[in-house]
Amino acid sequence: GKWEREINFSVIGQYVDYLVEEQGVKNIFVNGTTGEGLSLSISERRRVAEEWVTKGRNKLDQIVIHVGALSLKESQELAQHAAEIGADGIAVIAPFFLKPWNKDVLINFLKEVAAAAPALPFYYYHIPALTGVKIRAEEVLGGIQEKIPTFQGLKFSDTDLLDFGQCVDQNRQRQFAFLFGVDEQLLSALVMGATGAVGSTYNYLGKKTNQMLEAFERKDFSSALNHQFCIQRFINFVVKLGFGVSQTKAIMTLVSGIPMGPPRLPLQKASREFTDNAEAKLRSLDFLSFNDLKDGNLGACS
Ligand SMILES: CC(=O)N[C@H](C=O)[C@@H](O)[C@H](O)[C@H](O)CO
Ligand SMILES: CC(=O)C(=O)O
pLDDT digits (tens, 9 = 90+) for 182-221: 999 999 999 999 999 999 999 999 999 999 999 999 999 9
Residue 297 has pLDDT above 70, yes or no: no
Query: Nearest Cα to 244, choosing from 75, 20, 31, 34?
Result: 34
Question: Predicted confidence band at 291 (pLDDT cuts at 50, 70, 90)?
Answer: very low
Average pLDDT over residues 59-71: 98
pLDDT score for 5: 87
Residue 150 annotated as part of some ligand binding site: no
Q: 33 in ligand 2 pocket by Cβ < 6 Å?
A: yes
pLDDT score for 296: 53
- Pair 48, 7: CB distance under 8 Å: yes
- Tell me the catalytic residues: 125, 155
pLDDT score for 1: 57
DSSP category for residue 282: H
Could you tell me the distance, in angstroms and rounded to a whole number, from the CA of residue 33 to the centre of ligand 2?
A: 5
Ligand 2 atom nearest the C-alpha of 157 is 3
Residue 15 has pLDDT above 80, yes or no: yes
Atom 2, ligand 2: residue with shortest CA distance: 199
Residue 266 has pLDDT above 50, yes or no: yes
Q: 200 in ligand 1 pocket by Cβ < 6 Å?
A: yes
Q: Which ligand is nearest to the CA of 248?
A: 1
Could you tell me the distance, in angstroms and rounded to a whole number, from the CA of residue 90 to the centre of ligand 2?
A: 13
Mean pLDDT of the chain: 95
Cα 27 to Cα 31, 177, 196, 203, 206: the distances in Å are 14, 13, 10, 11, 11
DSSP category for residue 25: -
pLDDT score for 290: 58
pLDDT score for 293: 47
- Pair 15, 25: CB distance under 8 Å: no
Interface confidence (ipTM) of the complex: 0.95
- Pair 98, 106: CB distance under 8 Å: no
pLDDT score for 175: 94
Q: 186 in ligand 1 pocket by Cβ < 6 Å?
A: no
- Pair 93, 64: CB distance under 8 Å: no
- Pair 92, 58: CB distance under 8 Å: no
Cα 247 to Cα 23, 32, 252: the distances in Å are 19, 16, 9
Average pLDDT over residues 267-272: 97
pLDDT score for 292: 46
pLDDT score for 166: 98
Q: Which ligand is nearest to the CA of 232?
A: 1
Question: Predicted confidence band at 22 (pLDDT cuts at 50, 70, 90)?
Answer: very high
pLDDT score for 298: 59
Query: Nearest Cα to 106, choosing from 78, 147, 150, 76?
Result: 147
Residue 34 annotated as part of some ligand binding site: yes
Question: Predicted confidence band at 89 (pLDDT cuts at 50, 70, 90)?
Answer: very high
Average pLDDT over residues 225-250: 98
Is residue 179 within a helix (H) or strand (E), and if so which, with residue range? strand 177-180
